[in-house]
Structures are given as structure tokens and as C-alpha cells.
Structure 1
Amino acid sequence: MLSTALQGFLVSIGLIIAIGAQNAFVLKQGLKQEHIFWICLICAMSDAILIFSGVFGFGQVVQSHTGWVDIAKYAGAIFLFLYGLQHFYQAFVKKHSLEAGGKDESSLLRVLLICLAFTWLNPHVYLDTVILIGVISTQIDGDKTHFAVGASLASFIFFFSLGYGAKFLQPLFKDYRAWKILDVCIGFLMWGIAYSLIS
């Protein structure tokens, strides 16, 4: 049981740990200390739903209905382009620091909707989490449930570590210029991922 769960954990953490749009969003919210628990919970729960779906056969449905992936691809690209544009605006127009961050805190609903968009409008999530993990799960000897639990646990540990661990970088982000650099990096990351989706 433990070895099967560990296999799922290692496969999942290897896919999640790569720098992506969702991770950048969680990191920034962690730096701002805004709604961290709910953001991490939404990300981890979404991953768990997708992982269990993939392990128990939904990956075959996704592969046979590629139109859904195409819809997510273009909707996700538009979302990422606009979100990247917002970060460029923040970098070059808005003076931002940790002290100022609390004065214009985003509403919980707005932040959660953005968080859900990062997860469910990202076709890479379906390809990696649903299809790839689903396919790998068919190769294991142990119980698929244990494999899915291990993979889901990796998501919970990663997102909560990223969200709450970001506070250790807060001293650096007392300077508004650090925020500008972060916003520019996130902006280019979002545009790069958007381009990769449609190219």
C-alpha cells in the first residue's frame, strides 16, 4: 500500500513542481498573504478531482473528445494573455509593496474565480493530471486508489507549502521594485504559456 502511494506521490510531485501559471499565482498570493488557505485548498482539491478522474478512466473520455481540450486551450490562452497584461500594467503603472498590498485586497470570490480558471482552463492540467497520471496508474501492480491518494497528497503538500512558505520571501518584497520584477516575470510567463497553448 505504502509503496503504491509513494509511486503516485513521486509521479504527481514531478509534474506539479514545474514553474507554471498556477504556481506563480499561488506564490504571489502567498507573498501578499491574501486568502492563502482557500487558494491552496482549491488548487489541491481540483488536482485531486482530476487525478482520481484520470486514474479511474476519465482520461479515455478526454482523449476521445478532444474538442473539450481545444475549448480549454483557446479559452485558457485568452485568459492567460489578459492576466499577463494585468501584471505588466501593475509593473509599469501601479506602485506596489507589501505595505500597500493590504489596502486594496482582492475579494475572496474574485481570487477564487481566478484560481479556478488557472486550473480548469489549462489543457496541460488535463494532459498531465488526467491522461498521463491515468496512463501511469494502469502500469502499477498495487491498488489504484492508493496510487491516486498518494498523487493527491503530493498536490496538497506542494500547494500549501508554496502558499504559506512564500512568507519567507516577504522581507525582499518590502521594496516595490521587487514587485515590479515579479510582475514582469509573471507577465512574460503568462504570455509564454498562452503562446505555447495556441502554437
Structure 2
Amino acid sequence: MTLTFPTFSAGLVLSLSLIMAIGPQNAHVLRMGLQRQHLWLTVATCALADIVLISLGVLGLAQLGGLSDKLHGALVGAGVLFLSVYGWQAFRRFLNPTTPVMPSREAGAAPMSRRQAVLSALAFSWLNPHAWLDTAVLIGSASLAYGPARESFGLGAATGSVVWFLVLGVAAFWLGRRLNSLRLWRALDGAVALMMWGTAAGLVASLF
């Protein structure tokens, strides 16, 4: 692999610019941090999931011409279903808020297991069509412009993802230790519900 700083930096900047928007994956990390449940396991899983998608794009998918129409349609369908269900769950929490600190325990539900935390993070990472389009397709396609140095570009993009999720995890950890407001939880859940449903509607519209 030819590692060059300008190419590495270009991948890093592109990755950060794509991932910094508060999408489903980032919102999930924030919520896990505020709930104090498996935050760092979630951060590690999301970062590794992104690295897999970036590697797929840089090493293969971009050279094949991107996602096929059928695969794209299947991803969109799965994403719409997933986002709609999660949006409904967030809306229910908005209507019936629970205690801000560790709400699942206060509500009498069993805390999330490590396996559930990993599966949830993977679902937010791999059932979101935007994640595939932004990482595997867009980053993979952009890497082709760097020829033999495209692996350096991909390494920069992967590093950007790791840096972002570490920063987001620290922010969520810091907020979780300092914020204890039922109003904050209601606002977060309301915003998440609207964002999830809005994203799902946008995906449906993209099919027509």
C-alpha cells in the first residue's frame, strides 16, 4: 500500500464530512451514552461496521460500478421498515417519558445485554441505506481517482470514522454524567422520531 499524507487526508476529510450529520447511527450512540449502557462497545461496533463498508467500497464495490438496482431497492426497503419502527418507539417514549437516568432499568425492563448492544449497533450501521451509499459507494468511488494510492485514501476514511465515533462517545459520556432532565429526554426522543420518519419518507420518495 502506498501511504501518502495528502491522499490519507483527503479520505479523512471526506469521511468526516459525510458522517458528522446526526443520522440514525449517531443518534443511537448518543442515546446509549445518555442511558449509560454499553457505550464504548457501541462506539467500537459502529466504527468497525463503517470500516467494513469503507473497505468494501474501496477494495471492490466501486470497481464493480456501485450497487445494483435490486440491491439498492432491497436496502431502501429494509431501511424504511427499520427507521419507521425505531421512529415509532422513540415517539412512544416521547408520549410516555421515563426517568432520564438509566430509563430502561427504572421502567422495570432488563438492561440491554452485550449481544443486544452489538446487534443494535450493527442494525443502525448496516440497515441504513445512507450508510451504504455514503461509505461503500461514495467513498469507494472517490477512491478510484487516486489510482494505486486508493488504499491510503480508504485508510484515511476509516480513520475519520474511528475519530468521529470516539469523539461522539466522549461527548455522550460527558452529557450522560451531567444531564438529568426529563424535558431533555422528551426533546431527544421527539427529535429522533421526526428524524427517523423524515429519513424513511425521503427514502420512499427516492424510489419514484
Does the 8 A contact of 2:45 with 2:121 survive in 1?
yes
Deviations 1:28-68 (CA, angstroms, capped at 9, x unpaired): 11112211121111111111111111112313446352211
Match of 1:194 among 171, 179, 200: 200
CA distance in 2, matches of 1:170, 1:72: 33
1:98 aligns with 2:117: no
**Counterparts of residues 14-93 of structure 1 (less than 5 Å):** 14-61=17-64, 63=66, 65-93=68-96
**Where does the alignment leave 5 or more consecutive residues of structure 2 unmatched?**
none
**Seq. identity, %:** 34
CA distance in 1, matches of 2:65, 2:180: 45
Q: Which residue of 1 aligns with 2:180?
A: 174
Does the 8 A contact of 1:62 with 1:68 survive in 2?
no
1:158 aligns with 2:164: yes
Q: Which residue of 1 aligns with 2:114?
A: 108
Does the 8 A contact of 1:62 with 1:69 survive in 2?
no
For residue 169 of structure 1, report the CA deviation from its aligned partner.
2.2
Of the structure 1 ranges 165-174 and 83-92, higher mean CA displacement relative to structure 2 is found in 165-174
Amino acid at match of 2:153: F
Name the count of aligned residue pairs: 199
CA distance in 2, matches of 1:157, 1:137: 20
Amino acid at match of 2:95: F
Does the 8 A contact of 1:8 with 1:150 survive in 2?
yes
For residue 164 of structure 1, report the CA deviation from its aligned partner.
2.2
Q: Which residue of 2 aligns with 1:12?
A: 15
CA distance in 2, matches of 1:160, 1:9: 14
Of the structure 1 ranges 159-168 and 91-100, higher mean CA displacement relative to structure 2 is found in 91-100
Does the 8 A contact of 2:36 with 2:176 survive in 1?
no
Query: C-alpha root-mean-square deviation of aligned residues, in Å?
Result: 1.9
For residue 108 of structure 1, report the CA deviation from its aligned partner.
2.1
CA distance in 2, matches of 1:143, 1:107: 41
